[in-house]
Amino acid sequence: MQIKATDTPLLDWTGDLLAVGILEGETELSGDLAQLDEKLSGTISELIADEKFEGKSATTAISRVGGKNPIRKIALVGLGKSEDLKLDSWRAATAAIARMAKKSKTLGISLPLGSESPESLAQVITEAMILALHQDNRFKSEPEDKELKLETVDLIGLAGQDKAIANASIVADGVILARELVNAPANELTPITMAETAQQLASDYNLEIKILEQSDCEQFEQGMGAYLGVGQASDIPPKFIHLTYKPAGTAKRKVAIVGKSLTFDSGGLNLKPSGSGIETMKMDMGGGAATLGAAKAIAQLKPDVEVHFICAATENMISGRAMHPGDILKAANGKTIEVNNTDAEGRLTLADALIYAEKLEVDAIVDLATLTGACIVALGNDIAGLWSTDNALAEEMKTAAELAGEKFWQLPMEEKYFEGLKSEIADMKNTGPRAGGSITAALFLKQFIKDTPWMHLDVAGPVWADSPSGVNNKGATGFPVRTLVNWVEG
């Protein structure tokens, strides 16, 4: 599928399907739309009347165009009220268009520009079109969706935005990589194959790469006992992945992105019971998947920022070697952890990964993890939690997320709650009371950062969709690759 900006006027466009945007409450046609309606013998006004189309956000109506017109079908898509317009309005409208355009060979899109820049709109429309049409059929003998015929998408009124379209395609490809990593079952995506994916990214996009094997992790500082403790029951060796992007010139800053990378989480000896979601625990490397997806995009966009991408990949399994409830692990900084729940394993892997990241002397560290069910209870499936030791860093990420259309909510770093993590026999336990579970998880991670500005993102809800919504189909969403890219680009 080729997406291109065109200088062809709306009235002169020809092709299979023309989609035009309508603002809510502005269904009285004027300007180019009125002229187009006249040219199409009143088809648009009839469609509005017949479907009682009001222009509400992401609503659609479609009709064949009679006669010998150079357009086979006309579609209307609602953008909502003009006073509520934001980038997400165009994103939602485009996703709705994409789903009705699958059987068309050529598609023209004409949406009101509003106050947003043409560059921003071209990027948003391109990302939404690619992501809404993405289908992951790798594991089907025959693809379910045999109807996708779309070859060309013309963005009418956005001539000159070829670079924005190209950049948006790069970002969307990064999102798709993250989706496909999360969708892959645990017998396909293991710590070994995840490391191989990182090695392929390094080869394709000229990134530096270092893979720490188990012996390397044992020798790092005081030993990555927390990370290695989680994976000790698995027959598959852990792979500590460190990818680095460096700009050609002087970097304006240096940052680290650390993604939780549990390729499967059984819960360990605190086994997840059937019905608890154990069958979906291939998604527990959603943070690592987004980290690699962001690496793919950033390596091609080439911002003037040095970025370190870190994934401490392993499995949390059961065997005679398994980590026991009650075991005491020692992280690379010497801090000791009493394991009171083997199913709170992600924070153990992240503890050593954060220590490693801080040794790189970066200006900021962001970790992202499918860390707690408590965060889903607090914020639902669509909103990720955000905690930070640095207000400026938090505001940067919120701005980046707003531009991406990905939702975060900042929660408090309530130091008093750390009392619930204190251990009688070690420096801390790996879980605290049920109340405030996502906050105590963030406080646990904070113990492994000394001075670097740090942010924790709990993305447990939004990395997976149980039903299609917006640009996401059912399954992995690729959240929050777009936010991470926006943050790095600043």
Q: Considering 179, 347, 407, 429, which one is annotated as catalytic?
A: 347
Residues 285 and 427 in one domain: yes
pLDDT in the model for residue 102 = 86
- Cβ(482)–Cβ(405) under 8 Å? yes
d(CA 223, CA 237): 16
pLDDT in the model for residue 144 = 64
Which band of pLDDT confidence, cut at 50, 70 and 90, is reported for residue 470?
confident
pLDDT digits (tens, 9 = 90+) for 139-180: 988 866 666 789 999 999 999 999 999 999 999 999 999 999
**Is 152 within the bounds of a domain?**
yes
Q: Per-residue pLDDT averaged across 312-336, rounded?
A: 98
- Cβ(8)–Cβ(154) under 8 Å? yes
pLDDT in the model for residue 145 = 60
Residues 141 and 214 in one domain: no
Residues 111 and 200 in one domain: no
Q: Per-residue pLDDT averaged across 252-272, rounded?
A: 97
CATH number at residue 50: 3.40.220.10
Q: Which two tokens stand for residue 279?
A: 């069958």
pLDDT digits (tens, 9 = 90+) for 367-413: 999 999 999 999 999 999 999 999 999 999 999 999 999 999 999 99
Domain that holds residue 188: 169-489
Residues 139 and 215 in one domain: no
- Cβ(443)–Cβ(385) under 8 Å? no
- Cβ(459)–Cβ(286) under 8 Å? yes
Annotation marks residue 347 as catalytic = yes
- Last-in-domain residue among 99, 128, 156: 156
**Is 161 within the bounds of a domain?**
no
CATH number at residue 281: 3.40.630.10
- Cβ(292)–Cβ(309) under 8 Å? yes
pLDDT greater than 90 at residue 467? no
pLDDT in the model for residue 261 = 98
Q: Considering 39, 86, 272, 446, which one is annotated as catalytic?
A: 272
Mean per-residue pLDDT over the chain, rounded: 96
pLDDT greater than 90 at residue 456? yes
d(CA 435, CA 421): 12
- Cβ(20)–Cβ(100) under 8 Å? no
Residues 54 and 78 in one domain: yes
Residues 151 and 173 in one domain: no
Residues 177 and 142 in one domain: no
> What domain count does the chain have?
2
**Is 320 within the bounds of a domain?**
yes
**Is 83 within the bounds of a domain?**
yes
Residues 313 and 263 in one domain: yes
pLDDT digits (tens, 9 = 90+) for 136-149: 989 988 866 666 78
Residues 146 and 207 in one domain: no
Residues 306 and 225 in one domain: yes
Whole-structure pTM value = 0.96
| Residue 408: count of CB within 10 angstroms of its CB | 24
Annotation marks residue 321 as catalytic = no
CA distances from 166 to 126, 128, 413, 470 (A): 9, 13, 39, 21
- Last-in-domain residue among 134, 156, 178: 156
> Is-cis flag, bond preceding 247, omega within 30?
no
pLDDT digits (tens, 9 = 90+) for 75-122: 999 999 999 999 999 999 999 999 999 889 999 999 988 788 999 999
| pLDDT above 70 coverage of the chain, percent | 99
Q: Please identify which residue in the block is written with the tokens 């926006």.
A: 486
- 352's CB contacts (< 8 A; 6+ apart) are 217, 220, 224, 225, 226, 227, 312, 331, 332, 448
β-bridge mates for residue 254, sequence order = 306
CA 255 and chain centroid, separation: 18
B/e letters for 343-356, b = 16+ CB within 10 Å, e = fewer, are bbbbbbbbbbbbbb
Residues 119 and 201 in one domain: no
Residues 226 and 371 in one domain: yes
pLDDT greater than 80 at residue 275? no
